[in-house]
Structure 1
């Protein structure tokens, strides 16, 4: 059974779910995020409020269509000069390995290139995060280097448009 997802803007109420993910070290295995204290719903709500107000960010919830369930985040950060950094994670571990990361990546690429009119996206991924590397390469990202122990990848709008035509 294929699970379909959609993305929607994050809202403050999402903090009631996302604070649980912030406290789960398994969710953050391949990232540099490490909570220095237990994150409470109040702390997560305050953090989310601060970040939703930033003009150089677009933050979205990844949701399962059939259940209308919030399961992760995908975001564009440091938006400037027609480029941005992509971050994605699936917080609900029941949905790991189900192809959702790829779907969410394609949705955020469409948003970035066709709605925000960005020209390129970049990301950094841990080299041991093989599923993420596979997803990003499948979506058209190319490895551009390595820095601080992370693989750097990027994709241009032109390349995405070419790939999208091949998929259809």
Structure 2
């Protein structure tokens, strides 16, 4: 896809530093709503972080601009054939600056590199920016999960 990168994103390891930033981001009411993040405490976040090193069903990277961590992207519920894409730009001044597009493209390329058949995105119907981004990248509405949430799907075998 052709577009002008407003900000150049870089993808790095998900570290404890990023975990701490994620705590702040995901406790912001607007971010919690947009990402449908349930309430969580430091202890459960720490257990999740420690579990990452032994998990095969999770791929996660931090998103950086210059020397500043600004977000997170990844795949969860990974199987041999599919996975659920997720991501968020925690630093709001980077919203609308093509970072989301770059993150999704990064994840799509990773998913292809490990030979997944498809990836899917679980999105709130009210999160029009995420739905627009998914459509821009070729995702199609797959199904309604409930009255507030839809699943978007990208078939990687149809990608060129």
Note whether the superposition's TM-score is higher than 0.5: yes
> Which residue number corresponds to residue 48 of structure 1?
49
Shift of 1:119: 1.3
Cα distance, 1:43 vs structure 2: 5.8
Instruction: Give the alignment's TM-score, normalised by structure 2.
Output: 0.87
Matched, 1:6 2:4: no
Unaligned runs of 5+ in 2: none
* TM-score, length-scaled by structure 1: 0.83
1:1-168 to 2 correspondences below 5 Å: 2-35=6-39, 39-40=41-42, 44-64=45-65, 67-114=66-113, 116-148=114-146, 149-161=148-160
Identify the residue that residue 164 of structure 1 maps to in structure 2.
none
Query: CA–CA distance in 1 between the matches of 2:26 and 2:89?
Result: 11
Deviates further, 18-27 or 128-137: 18-27
Closer, same or farther: CA 52–95 of 1 in aligned 2, 3 Å: farther
Q: 1:160 to 1:62 in 2, by over 3 A?
A: farther
- Shift >3 Å, 4+ stretches: 42-46
Number of residues of Structure 1 aligned to a counterpart in Structure 2: 155
Q: 1:52·1:59 contact (CA, 8 Å) conserved in 2?
A: no
* Mapped partners of 2:45, 2:69: distance in 1: 16
105-114 or 21-30, which deviates more: 21-30
Partners of 2:68 and 2:9 in 1: CA distance? 9
Aligned CA RMSD, in angstroms, stands at 1.9
